[in-house]
């Protein structure tokens, strides 16, 4: 089971997962509440400022609902607007981490197979030793 999951994750990554659309929709919902919900505003501002992204899909998430694009969508040094959506940035972040986790899972699978082979060899050696003692 572990081997199958690791192989699937390495083969597909984030492309076929539901994480990317989920992140997009969650960001979009926060942006829709941005104007009147203080917690949503704070969450979106923190994410956009520290991650370096703008919106769930793009900066058009703001203009589509007739809101000005906030300053947290801009680079603090240059003032240029971020071109990547937060879903893209988080997707890239998760892609790297899932690769590491899949590699770790494969390593554990091979270790378990090796341990199982050693156990079988030890069992056979002990069984042979017991048979030699009986004779």
CATH code, domain carrying 41? 1.10.1450.10
Longest dimension (CA), the chain: 91
Q: What is the pLDDT at residue 102?
A: 82
pLDDT digits (tens, 9 = 90+) for 21-79: 888 999 999 999 999 999 999 999 999 999 999 999 999 999 999 999 999 999 989 98
The kind and range of the H/E element at 52 are: none
* Whole-angstrom distance, CA of residue 29 vs CA of residue 44: 10
* Contact between residue 54 and residue 85 where contact means Cβ atoms under 8 Å apart: yes
Token pair of 57 as six digits: 């899909």
Contacts with 81 (C-beta within 8 Å, 6 or more apart), sequence order: 54, 59, 69, 73, 74, 75
- Give mean pLDDT, residues 99-127: 91
pLDDT digits (tens, 9 = 90+) for 13-35: 666 677 788 889 999 999 999 99
* Whole-angstrom distance, CA of residue 66 vs CA of residue 60: 9
> Residue 97 belongs to what domain range?
2-134
* Contact between residue 59 and residue 87 where contact means Cβ atoms under 8 Å apart: no
The whole-model pTM stands at 0.67
Domain count along the chain = 1
């Amino acid at each position: 089971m572990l081997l199958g999951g690791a192989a699937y994750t390495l083969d597909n990554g984030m492309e076929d997962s539901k994480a990317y659309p989920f992140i997009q929709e969650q960001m979009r919902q926060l942006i829709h509440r941005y104007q009147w919900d203080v917690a949503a505003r704070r969450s979106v501002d923190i994410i956009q400022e520290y991650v370096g992204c703008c919106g769930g899909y793009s900066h058009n998430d703001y203009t589509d609902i007739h809101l000005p694009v906030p300053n947290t969508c801009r680079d603090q040094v240059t003032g240029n607007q971020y071109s990547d959506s937060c879903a893209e940035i988080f997707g890239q972040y998760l892609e790297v981490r899932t690769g590491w986790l899949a590699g770790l899972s494969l390593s554990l699978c091979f270790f378990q197979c090796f341990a199982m082979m050693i156990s079988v060899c030890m069992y056979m050696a002990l069984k042979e030793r017991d048979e030699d003692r009986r004779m």
